[in-house]
Amino acid sequence: MAAHALTLRQRVRLPLPWLSLAALLAAVVILPVIVLAATAAQGSEGLWSHVGRHVLPQASLNTLWLLLGVGIVVGVIGTGCAWLVSAYEFPGRRWLSWALLLPLAVPTYVVAYAYLDLLHPLGPVQSLVRDLLGYDSPRQFRLPDIRSLAGCIGLLGLVLYPYVYATVRAMFATQAASVLESARSLGAGPVAVFTRVALPLARPAIAVGMSLALLETLNDIGASQFLGIQTLTVSVYTTWVTRSDLAGAAQIALSMLVLVVLLVVLERYSRRRQRYASSARSRPLPPARLRGGKAWLATALVSLPVLLGFVAPFAFLAWESWKRMGAHGIPAAVLDATWNTFTIAVIATGVTVAAGLLLAWSLRLAQYRGTGERFAAVTLRVGSLGYALPGTVLAIGLLTPMAWFDAGVARVAGAIGLDSGMVLMASGGALVLAYTLRFLAITAGGIDAGFGRVPVSMDHAAGSLGHTPGAILRRVHWPLLRPALAGGALLVFVDTMKELPATLLLRPMNFETLATWLYADAARGAYEDGAMAALLIVLVGLLPVILLARTRRGAVVEVPA
């Protein structure tokens, strides 16, 4: 048997071309970080001093407070809701268990855009409150201004808590009923069972969910700018676009990168000693039925994040869009932005899926051959780092290499009498590249997980029948990987439609997407004009949320130790 396996491996050449392509792709992911450091170093000493004295202190302080506040909000809401729907039975529990994921469909800048109009002194909420209290003017009564750090923390928390909820709910589902029932039999009450048993077991899931939510917070630019919070991301954008200071923007972006590294290190450190395992045969805890006022209180607590994070902004956008269409129809510019968004998202999705398949398949080939597996695994991990890079950081790091590429193509084209123009920057190729590097982790991780469910022995069996690696991929892997490919493609498609920071910085001239159209309308205060673009973004964002809700019904998801 061993001799047969050795003969089979000798028949399959080491997949150096595929490993080389995968390594090149991983190098492209790292390139923006290297270029970012080089661009920052080009700034003069006076520029470094100015940024360090007048920009970084306030922007860093705002960003840190924002991250701290959002972390607390998403941790409390996500963990609390996950425990209530897992441990208790109350009215509406069944539909609330998946409805709690709906705020994921609303980008952070969309919820800020909606609430700025909803809570405006002349908006519907404050007008209704004044009518109920008998006041006639905003001068007599007005709610606190939402354009504040506290308002930004609250709105981002309402949108991003599903990251914690999804991971913690999965962890609670894997905990055996015997563990929690043992605590109850020893006299522990509901609060003690949660704080002393369930919560410590869920710490790895909480760390994972909070790290994802905080990375999204760090990547946000629209909500922070709409609400008047000068974060590091907003500072990068204003320094580059408004002041035309690329070196200064790169220096601020490096500070953001330090925060990203700290977030990743803290997430790993918080889980360093967690070694909890769960068995697929373990019996999940049956929910205890609540009655009377406690049952309706649980329903109200779990419903509140759904109402504030999804229902209220969605209803507002639908109503404003209906009024806009009834009065003026659908503007041609919105249709153009929709087409641009759809086109660039389809292209970027195709490229990202192909790149993710390349990374995952290279590792599979190395496992099949029994050589180069460690190198391929490192390549896959490095190639997936782009998701941790905020869009502004990635955009600044890509700007110089893409300018070099366009200049090189122009020189070659000029030598043969052609005018190539700016191949990447003027065609949308820059956006496709940025989207691919940023969301490559989604497809590569999903496809690699799909490969993990297919034993390598199946490849060896197919190889012993004379099939080449390409034929094995086509006839064995492809049918089994289609769910992972489809799920990854859907998530990437929606993420590219919602991506704002990289799109703002790298889009061609006179090229608008739904995200940039909404951003421009909100920036000039024309909220009613951007409602349709915001509604379209939310409607498209519902697709992966519904898919996620369906796949999580009855599913047991493992959280890595």
pLDDT band at 554 (very low <50, low <70, confident <90, very high): very low
Cα separation, 409 vs 398, in Å, equals 16
Among the candidates 468, 493, 510, a domain finishes at: 510
Q: Is 171 found in the same domain as 262? A: yes
Among the candidates 232, 259, 274, a domain finishes at: 274
Instruction: Of 8, 1, 2, give the one whose Cα is nearest residue 369.
Output: 8
Residue 16 within any structural domain of the chain: no
pLDDT of residue 441: 85
pLDDT of residue 529: 66
What is the length of the chain?
Answer: 561
What domain count does the chain have?
2
Residue 146 within any structural domain of the chain: yes
Cα separation, 155 vs 304, in Å, equals 13
Residue 5 within any structural domain of the chain: no
Q: Is 363 found in the same domain as 268? A: no
CATH (domain of 397) = 1.10.3720.10
- Output the CA–CA distances (angstroms, integers) from residue 206 to 76, 118, 155, 460, in the order listed: 10, 32, 20, 40
pLDDT of residue 561: 35
Residue 124 within any structural domain of the chain: yes
Instruction: Of 87, 65, 71, 152, give the one whose Cα is nearest residue 116.
Output: 152
Cα separation, 482 vs 430, in Å, equals 28
Q: Extract long-range pairs of 22-26: CB within 8 Å, 24+ residues apart.
A: 22/358, 22/359, 22/362, 22/363, 22/376, 22/379, 22/380, 22/383, 23/375, 23/379, 25/355, 25/358, 25/359, 25/379, 25/383, 25/440, 26/359, 26/379, 26/380, 26/382, 26/383
pLDDT band at 34 (very low <50, low <70, confident <90, very high): confident
Phi, psi at 121, each rounded to 5°: -50, -30
Cα separation, 411 vs 152, in Å, equals 48
Whether residue 437 is predicted with pLDDT greater than 80 in this model: the reply is yes
Q: Is 255 found in the same domain as 378? A: no
Residue 459 within any structural domain of the chain: yes
pLDDT band at 212 (very low <50, low <70, confident <90, very high): confident
Amino acid letter, residue 49? S
Q: Residue 288's beta-bridge partner residues?
A: 88
In sequence order, the 6+-apart residues with CB closer than 8 A to the CB of 322 are: none
Q: Is 238 found in the same domain as 99? A: yes
One DSSP character per residue, 96-162 reads HHHHTTGGGGS-HHHHHHHHHHHTSTTSHHHHHHHHHHT--STTT--PPPS-SHHHHHHHHHHHHHH
pLDDT of residue 527: 61
Whether residue 376 is predicted with pLDDT greater than 90 in this model: the reply is no
Q: List, for residues 57-111, the tens digit of each pLDDT value.
A: 888 889 999 999 999 999 999 999 998 998 888 998 888 988 898 888 888 888 8
Q: Is 138 found in the same domain as 264? A: yes
Instruction: Of 288, 291, 300, 310, give the one whose Cα is nearest residue 81.
Output: 300
**Helix, strand, or coil (residue 289):** strand
For residue 526, with 0-12 CB atoms within 10 Å meaning exposed, 13-18 middle and 19 or more buried, which class applies? exposed
More reliable by pLDDT, 279 or 191? 191
Residue 36 within any structural domain of the chain: no
Q: Is 463 found in the same domain as 366? A: yes
Q: List, for residues 333-355, the tens digit of each pLDDT value.
A: 888 888 988 899 999 999 999 98
Tokens 């996620």 belong to residue: 548
Tokens 């109503």 belong to residue: 319
pLDDT of residue 405: 84
Q: Is 500 found in the same domain as 391? A: yes
Residue 39 within any structural domain of the chain: no
The full 3-state SS of 345-361, as one line of letters, equals: HHHHHHHHHHHHHHHHH
Q: How many helices and strands, by DSSP H and E, does the chain display?
A: 26, 2
Amino acid letter, residue 263? L
Domain hosting 473: range is 341-510
Q: Is 454 found in the same domain as 373? A: yes
Work out the mean pLDDT of the chain and round it to a whole number. 80
**Helix, strand, or coil (residue 284):** strand
Q: Which two tokens stand for residue 184?
A: 């109850």
Q: List, for residues 97-119, the tens digit of each pLDDT value.
A: 888 988 888 888 888 888 988 88
Q: Is 251 found in the same domain as 137? A: yes
Residue 532 within any structural domain of the chain: no
pLDDT of residue 559: 36
Tokens 């981002």 belong to residue: 156
Q: Is 347 found in the same domain as 227? A: no
When pLDDT is averaged across residues 261-287 and rounded to a whole number, the result is 62
Among the candidates 493, 510, 527, a domain finishes at: 510
Q: Is 228 found in the same domain as 150? A: yes
- Residue 445 is classified by DSSP as H
The stretches of 242-390 forming alpha helices (DSSP H) are 246-270, 292-306, 312-328, 332-369, 373-383
Record the pTM: 0.81
When pLDDT is averaged across residues 291-308 and rounded to a whole number, the result is 92
Best-predicted range by mean pLDDT (28-37, 159-168, 315-324, 371-380): 159-168
